[in-house]
Structure 1
Amino acid sequence: LEHRVAMRTRELVQANETLRTEITCRREAEDALIESERRYKTIMESAQDAIFCKNSNRQYTYVNPAMLKLLNCNIEDVIGKTPEQVFDAKSADVIRIVDDQTLAGKRVNEIKTIEINGKEYVFHTIQAPMEQRDGKAYSISGIVRDITENVRAQEEKVKLENQLFQIQKMEAIDTLAGGTAHEFNNLLAVILGNTEFLMDGVSPEDREILKDILEATQRGKRLVQQLLAFSRKSESRLNPVQLNIEIQKVISMLSRLIQRAITLSAEFPDDLWGVRADMGKIEQVLVNLCLNAQDAMPDGGMLTIAAGNIIVDDAVRNSYPDIEKGRYVRLIITDTGHGMDRETRERVFDPFFTTKGIGKGTGLGLAVVYGIIKAHHGYIFCKSEPGRGTAFEILLPAIEYAEIAHPERKKSVEPAKGKETLLTVDDEDGVIRILERMLNKLGYHAIPADSGEKALEIYQEKQEEIDLVILDLGMPGMGGHQCLKKLIEMNPQVKIIVASGYSAKGLIKDTIRQGAAGYIVKPFTMEEISNTIREVLDGKCR
């Protein structure tokens, strides 16, 4: 009996130790669970991202403070409710699709746009199913991060990068257009000069052929002016003008150009503000835009030119984010044509880009328009959608008053002759030859030089007998600018006419300041070169 009692006692002691160990382990497990829940709650409650849980009926069973802050509501407004009871119908539909995917056992990782309290947010959402042992999802857990500001910042970055790329592209094309125009003017100078030279003493049949050549040369000259206008190397004379008066003149001309199937109308107030503008260039803008509109309406339609005053302030700048505040005169040219898609609209001002067939357009028209408006310190926008027509909107800075400029009509002057000796400097053989023919016909003695270096050699040797130098600017090697400087160093009283394929703006004006006595722009006629020579030699300009 004693033995049995001893054994039983040992068993009870062992069982008691086991029970004590189990109780200790359970207490440790409970403490660990409490600590784990505390950590879990601390993480969930302090998280900046919105965290939530839903049951299989898609009712919210938990939301953290960040979620409540995002929704701008109290916990009782969310717990126990479905997304349909918390969000608007459109956003609830988006959430329902994600929930259905999650309850089907799929882990969702998506970026969605959802509206909350009337404001659109962009969210990065991650949802995962909570599954039972049988693999069936019984609840949803999710985390939502508001990336709205990041997305907006990225969009703004892309926008700025595109603007920078566009600016760089336009600057590169500016340089290309200006250089091409200069070279093309050299060719036109040869064609125009030789054709004009041959006009005397030919048969009527040959004269008609030469007239065709002259006409083609003039078309080429206008094309060069378009290139120069685009590259902003052609001179614009900005004078105060009243646009409503000038627009009426343009509309009168357009009414004869636009096909009858198109209804042309104009809308502008009598109190339209004045602007500083080169009306020849503004006329070119309106004609180009209206002819483009005509091409977009082969079966007829409505073409409207509207003008009005607008003040761009903080409120209005939402519609014009990239322009300076101030007073503007707004021109809107609207058509009811076939419109443009986004890709075409984004390239509409690119030079040589055209949707017209071969031989029907150069692709320079709208690029020229863009260049002219920029030269007027203005802005131009294109709004268009396929099938809904196109509207070009132009904003020109307004002035307090406008005085209508009446340009003086230039009087024709007969070519003046002379007997002086002229040094002609140009690297183009064709230009040198035609200039020599012109000068010889006018009675002058021409000495040709095909480079700046050669010109200096000749002038050093024959300085006493040379009365005038005609100097091209765009030459390789020494170049016209350096040659001009050296000639003036050799003789401060030297009379020099600079010639260039560019206009009187920029490079040529710089040479005038450096000491040149006059300038002439290629291509030039015999009358133009003769008058310029006489003005310089007779001391009428210096």
Structure 2
Amino acid sequence: MNILIVEDNPNEREILRFTLERHGCMVIEAADGLEGLDLAIHRQPDIIVSNTLMPRMDGFQLLWALKADPKLTSIPFLFYSDTFTGEQEEKLAISLGAAAFIVKNKAPESVWLQADAAITATSKPQKTIVYPTIDKSDRKHLREYGRIVATKLEEKVRELQAALTERRQVVDEIKTLKSELAIRASEFKRAEDTIKEQEQQLSNFFEVAPFPLLLLDGELRIRRINKHGCSLTGSPAIDMLGLRSGEALRCIHALDTPEGCGFGPNCRECLLRICIKNCLNSEQQYSCKEVSLPLSAKDSETNLTFILSISRATTGKQDMLLITLQDITAQKTLERKLHYAQKMEAAGILAGGIAHECNSHLSTIVGYGNTTLMSMSRNDPNRQNVEQIVTNAKKAAHLTNKLKIFCRKQSGEKKNINLNETILSMQNNLLRLFGQDINCTTLISDQELTVCADKHHLELLLTCLINKILDTTQRGGSLTITTDQTRLGPDVCAINDLKTRNSYALLTVTHSNASMGSDDLEHIFNPLFSIQEQSKWPELQLSLISHIIKQHESHITVFSEPGKGTAFRIYIPLVSSTATDRDKALENEKSGKGGETILLAEDDEAVRNMAEAILQHFGYEVIVAVDGEDAVQKYLKHAERINLLLFDLVMPKMSGQEAYVEIKKHAPNIKVVFASGHTPEIIKQRKLVDENALLIFKPYLPSVFLQKVRSALDSITL
């Protein structure tokens, strides 16, 4: 069954459509009589359900037009009204040919029952219902229609007359007070001047308020808006007067709905609309209510967050609503970024804790492994197995270092290395990671480039850069890694807070396809900027790059242009090659055997046993303590024999530093080396030891461990 619903109220129309569709009907909708007549002519519905009072053409006029058309006169017509509900209106409707007259206070289900009855009646072959054909020259119905409308008008006229009578009474009362008003005229004049002054002050405040202010009337239409409200929407105030708030602010949902603000599918859930309605209907006021609005302003769409305040204001005799909207979108963005940074900090703390625990275990593995290798001959069949254990333990140690880089707690083990050899050694690993996606070419400088750097940090730096370059482009393209020697002028060094040096190693990573926008280039290493969801350069890896660059006192620049690709240029300070040879000679020179006595304090049994074994293997006598208190007692017992203190920094009962301070009271010149799984940054931050104290960091190689011990005994600080 095809049913045409003619109803100007979209909510009523939706209820009727839902009710009729439940019974399997096909529903056609019209917003007024004129549209309904057009649909009836072209769609030929089985039955028509119409309201009475509607814009452009009401229900009686629609029924009149239908019955005047021979092609449409047989269509059953039902009235569904809440305006004309009297007996005379119903009689007029039936006389014009309506099949039924239903008052809206009845359930919508009654419409279906009447429609079904009308269709059933017309479909019975034994009884054919003939609807009257309206003769347009027949004045009877017009007179009846006019009489009904006139009756309604008379009621309104009586109401107006009553109001006029009341007004005249008020005028008479005013006349009786004329003499008193004359006496008090001067007082009122002064009061008027005061009010005008206050109004001017309020008007000035309204205009200069640093946030949008809107004044709404009882129909929720804008009566006034200040300049910040105009600035928000990009429209002059005169264009927004008379509009609803959503329409004036250019809410996307209001713009998408022909009826405007308040009639869209999302308007029912709009918090701004709900608060305004509540304040108008129940006098409930709002202060500092957070709302979000999807706005289309200044040729762009954006979701803005506001702090909403609504209060009632009376202008003359009209109650109005004063609305303030403070834009806090930027603050909310900063809150999200802070929350993200806090999560990253928590992840960093967790990673740092894991790395610290791993270092203790790795120290034991590396130490015992190297000690075992020292005692094995070159031809021992198990030597290769032990070497593999030590090698993989070192790799695990590098992984823990990467965890420390992640949480900004590792400065790396920098030493003089040949940059060319380092890049070549990384090539196979880079090809393994990215070789299927890109064509990688390495161009190495003919000059020897010696830099003071951590090899594993450089590998992580390259991996992050290449990975982020690939994020900005499709598969394919060519990647080129080049090394060269260059100089940076004093001005460039001063701008970038670099020490003025004679020359730098230039490491360039270029991709032929990748490109970035100017905004990304300007803020690429700004952690807060790169947290944005739409950014292709996530904060974590880019800030790691920035961290590594800073640790190496280096400088990085970015060049990108559509069609020409992206190039990262990294400037690393060069050191002389003689410094590398001197470091190697010093390493070999400082790992010899000794015969001194060392007090070793370590709470981790595995690390303690490993350190004791290494020292004893190289001829040192070792006195072992399990914590700080035990170390003090052992020193007091063997003070005349002990040449060096080797203390773990963090121990139960008494820390290594506290034990050292206690022992210094008895031996001010005693030498000490502290061991720690923490990084220099953490030790400095927590002030665990004096700045000039000798430190060795876990996990350590036996050779490095012995060099540090020998240097302390010989009073040489490496």
Shorter-chain TM band: 0.5 to 0.7
Q: After the TM superposition, which of the residue ranges 258-267 and 483-492 deviates more from structure 2?
A: 258-267
Cα distance per residue 1:486-528 (max 9 Å; x no partner): 1222201111111122345552896774674x33222233322
User: Which amino acid is 1:187 matched to?
Assistant: H
Report the equivalent of 1:362.
none
Between 1 and 2, higher relative CO (CA 8 Å, sep ≥ 6) is seen in: 1
Is the CA contact (8 Å cut-off) linking 1:425 and 1:455 kept in structure 2? yes
Q: Which residue of 2 aligns with 1:408?
A: 580
3-state SS of 2:653 partner: coil
How far did residue 334 of structure 1 move? 6.7
1:230 alignment partner in structure 2: 406
Cα contact 1:378–1:394 (8 A) shared by 2: no
1:490 is matched with which residue? Answer: 666
Q: Which runs of 5 or more structure 2 residues have no equivalent in the other structure?
A: 1-161, 176-194, 208-212, 274-292, 309-319, 444-450, 483-494, 499-505, 517-529, 559-564
Q: Which residue of 2 aligns with 1:183?
A: 357
Amino acid across the alignment from 2:580: E
Q: Distance in 2 between matches of 1:223 and 1:503?
A: 15
Q: 1:465 to 1:343 in 2, by over 3 A?
A: same
Superimposed CA distance per residue, residues 213-249 of structure 1 (whole angstroms, 9 cap, x where no aligned partner): 112211111112212323333335899x9xxx96997
Aligned mate of 2:458, from 259, 264, 283:
283
Aligned counterpart, 2:101: none
1:5 maps to none
Separation (CA, whole Å) in 2 of partners of 1:472 and 1:420: 19
Distance 1:344 1:505, change over 3 A: same
2:430 paired residue number? 257
TM-score when scaled to structure 2?
0.46
In structure 1, list runs of 5 or more residues that go unmatched: 1-17, 32-38, 126-141, 269-275, 308-324, 351-364, 383-390
Q: How far off its partner does 1:263 sit? A: 3.5
* Alignment CA distance shift 1:204-1:508 (3 Å): farther
CA 1:144/1:162 → structure 2, altered by over 3 Å: closer, same or farther? same
- Contact 1:422 1:444 (8 Å CA) reproduced: yes
- What's 2:367 paired with? 193
Distance 1:422 1:170 in 2: 42
Name the TM-score, length of structure 1 as normaliser. Answer: 0.59
Secondary structure, counterpart of 2:580 in structure 1: coil
- Equivalents in 2 of 1:120, 1:445: separation in Å? 73
- Confirm or deny that 1:464 pairs with 2:608: no
- How many percent identity over aligned positions? 20
Matched-pair contact (CA < 8 Å) for 1:232–1:375: no
Change (3 A) 1:205 1:508: farther
Work out whether residues 380 and 393 of structure 1, in 8 Å CA contact, stay in contact via their aligned partners in 2: no
Residue 342 (structure 2) aligns with: 168
Counterpart Cα distance in 1 of 2:323 and 2:508: 45
Counterparts in 2 of 1:71-90, with a 5 A limit?
A: none
Alignment partner, residue 24 of structure 1: 168
Conserved? CA contact 1:115–1:121, under 8 Å? no
SS in 1 for 2:381: helix
With over 3 angstroms needed to count, the CA separation of the structure-2 counterparts of 1:285 and 1:439, relative to structure 1, is closer
What residue in structure 2 maps to residue 129 of structure 1? none
Aligned length: 433
Quote the Cα distance in structure 1 between the aligned partners of 2:357 and 2:605: 13
> Is 1:155 aligned to 2:303, yes or no?
no
Q: Provide the rounded CA distance (Å) in 2 between the counterparts of 1:169 and 1:91.
A: 34
Residue in structure 1 matched with residue 89 of structure 2 by the alignment? none
Are residue 97 (structure 1) and residue 254 (structure 2) matched? no
Q: Give deviations 1:170-189, integer Å, cap 9, x for gaps.
A: 44444443343332221111
Residue 360 of structure 1 is matched in structure 2 by: none
Paired residue type of 1:283: L
Q: Deviations over 1:376-417 (max 9, x none)?
A: 6999999xxxxxxxx999899x99xx6566561424527411
1:524 to 674, 696, 700: 700
**Which one of 295, 299, 303 corresponds to residue 113 of structure 1?**
295
The root-mean-square deviation of aligned C-alpha atoms, in Å, is 6.1
Equivalent-residue separation in structure 1 for 2:412 and 2:654 (angstroms): 30
Q: Structure 1, residues 456-487: CA drift from partner, whole Å, max 9, x if none?
A: 00101110011112111121221111112112
Which one-letter code corresponds to 2:369 in the other structure?
A: T
Q: String of CA shifts for 1:337-387, please: whole Å, max 9, x gaps.
A: 9x999879799556xxxxxxxxxxxxxx778546535656999999xxxxx
Quote the residue 2:147 is aligned against.
Answer: none
* Higher Cα Rg, which structure: 2
Tell me the equivalent position of 1:499.
675
State the secondary structure of the residue aligned to 2:386. Answer: helix
Structure-to-structure mapping, 1:52-451, within 5 angstroms: 64=224, 70=230, 94-95=254-255, 97=257, 99-100=259-260, 110=273, 111=293, 113-115=295-297, 147=325, 150-151=326-327, 154-199=328-373, 200-201=375-376, 204-235=380-411, 250=423, 253-254=426-427, 257-258=430-431, 260-264=435-439, 278=453, 280=455, 283-289=458-464, 292=467, 300-302=475-477, 369=545, 371-372=547-548, 375=551, 408-409=580-581, 410-411=584-585, 413=588, 415-451=591-627
Q: Provide closer, same or farther for how the CA distance between residues 170 and 379 of structure 1 changes in structure 2, counting only shifts above 3 A.
A: farther
